[in-house]
């Protein structure tokens, strides 16, 4: 519930500063691509250096996935506010 309120507040701020849903969709895609790349890197690091060293890119994978989710959530809220109410 708190996460929904946070994304609502962030969407209102984004709209006030002139950001568009398309910009947030692009950011979400970039974060998702980075998360996939880092996941592959984590697997390579795990193979060559072990589990403990793989935690570093693994943590970045989680961060990238959360940022992608957040950007997508904000984009959906901005799209709702842009669409005419029927």
Residue 75 has pLDDT above 90, yes or no: yes
State the SS3 of 20-76: CHHHHHHHHHHHHHHHHHHHHHHHHHHHHHCHHHHHHHHHHHHHHHHHHHHHHHHHH
| 68 within 8 A of 31, measured Cβ to Cβ | yes
Which whole number is the average pLDDT over 1-21?
Answer: 89
The domains of the chain are located at: 2-82
| pLDDT tens for each residue of 20-65 | 999 999 999 999 999 999 999 999 999 999 999 999 999 999 999 9
Which whole number is the average pLDDT over 3-31?
Answer: 93
pTM: predicted TM-score of the whole model, two decimal places: 0.85
By three-state DSSP, how is residue 77 classified?
helix
Q: Provide the sign of the torsion angle of the four alpha carbons 55, 61, 66, 71, taken in this order.
A: positive
């Amino acid at each position: 519930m708190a996460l929904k309120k946070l994304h609502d507040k962030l969407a209102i701020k984004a709209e006030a500063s002139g950001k568009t849903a398309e910009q947030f969709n692009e950011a979400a895609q970039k974060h998702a691509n980075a998360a996939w790349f880092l996941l592959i890197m984590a697997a390579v690091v795990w193979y060559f250096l072990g589990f403990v060293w793989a935690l570093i890119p693994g943590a970045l994978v989680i961060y990238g996935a959360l940022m992608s989710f957040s950007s997508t959530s904000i984009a959906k809220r901005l799209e709702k506010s842009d669409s005419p109410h029927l």
